[in-house]
């Protein structure tokens, strides 16, 4: 567990170190958008069970909320780092909460505001067992135990498609994002678990938050 926290902490530090090699935006133009999404989580290989929400495949709903810091802004490109937290509900495999960061690159495709984004990230994911927990006592019998869950690392890569609309007061950017992921260090018997997340969300950026 100490190695896991050290790995995630070192990744989080890469943002400030990376910023030293780039010319960041002046303080007065730096913006902190609010990024909110609802999501569907799956234990699956990439692109499997991506959009199925009925039948024998559970919905596994969740949400995410975060913000982002811009390192470099061009006319049609943007290099940035995000910070986000959220949770999902999975009655078969266990609920989870996560906290993490992504490094992303945005490309605006047209004057209409259509854009695509590519991200790679690292999260701390804490999952709770879906049922009751038991432990073996000194008498060789099983007894109820607290379900404290297990912490693990979640490495993600994602692609997004969105649309920007703005006026003099606010910029609103709805988007859809597909996010394959690999969960590491869940337990010794199952060290690697493939996952995927489908997000539908919005990025809200007030033109007053950079004053």
Mind giving me the DSSP string for 14-27? HHHHHHTTS-PPPG
- What is the predicted pLDDT for the residue at 133? 67
Looking at CATH, the fold of the domain delimited by 2-13+31-131+151-206 is given as Porin (2.40.160)
- What is the predicted pLDDT for the residue at 148? 73
Cβ-proximal residues to 200 (8 Å cutoff; 6+ apart), any chain: 37, 38, 39, 174, 175, 176, 177
- What is the predicted pLDDT for the residue at 130? 74
Place of tokens 């498609």: 161
Q: What is the pTM of this model?
A: 0.77
Partnered with residue 194 across adjacent β-strands are 182
Secondary structure (DSSP) of 81-104: EEEEEEEE--TTT--EEEEEEEEE
The pLDDT tens digits of the residues spanning 183-210 come to 998 777 778 999 999 999 999 988 665 4
> What's the rounded Cα separation, in Å, for the pair 174 and 34?
12
> What's the rounded Cα separation, in Å, for the pair 155 and 181?
6
- How many residues make up the chain in this entry? 211
- What is the predicted pLDDT for the residue at 122? 96
Parts of the chain with a pLDDT under 50: 4-5, 9, 12, 18-21, 27-28, 54, 210-211
- What is the predicted pLDDT for the residue at 155? 97
- What is the predicted pLDDT for the residue at 138? 73
- What is the predicted pLDDT for the residue at 86? 97
Secondary structure (DSSP) of 98-164: EEEEEEEEEEE-STT-EEEEEEEEEEEEEE--SS-EEEE-TTS-EEEE----EEEEEEEEEEEEEE-
> What's the rounded Cα separation, in Å, for the pair 176 and 173?
10
Instruction: Answer whether 193's CB lies under 8 Å from 94's CB.
Output: no
Taking the domains of the chain in order of start, what are their residue ranges? 2-13+31-131+151-206
> What's the rounded Cα separation, in Å, for the pair 116 and 53?
25
């Amino acid at each position: 567990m100490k190695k896991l926290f050290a790995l995630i902490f070192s990744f989080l530090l890469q943002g400030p170190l990376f910023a030293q090699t780039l010319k960041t935006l002046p303080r007065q133009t730096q913006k902190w958008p609010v990024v909110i999404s609802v999501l569907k989580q799956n234990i699956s290989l990439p692109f499997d069970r991506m959009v199925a929400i009925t039948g024998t495949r559970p919905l596994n709903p969740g949400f995410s909320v975060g913000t982002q810091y811009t390192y470099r802004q061009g006319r049609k490109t943007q290099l940035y780092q995000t910070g986000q937290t959220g949770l999902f509900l999975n009655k078969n495999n266990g609920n989870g909460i996560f906290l993490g960061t992504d490094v992303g690159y945005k490309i605006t495709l047209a004057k209409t505001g259509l854009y695509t984004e590519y991200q790679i990230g690292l999260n701390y994911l804490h999952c709770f067992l879906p049922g009751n927990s038991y432990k073996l006592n000194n008498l060789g019998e099983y007894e109820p135990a607290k379900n404290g869950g297990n912490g693990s690392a979640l490495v993600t890569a994602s692609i997004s498609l969105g649309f920007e609309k703005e006026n003099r007061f606010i910029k609103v950017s709805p988007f859809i994002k597909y996010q394959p992921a690999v969960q590491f260090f869940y337990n010794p018997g199952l060290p690697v678990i493939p996952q995927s997340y489908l997000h539908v969300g919005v990025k809200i950026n007030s033109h007053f938050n950079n004053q």
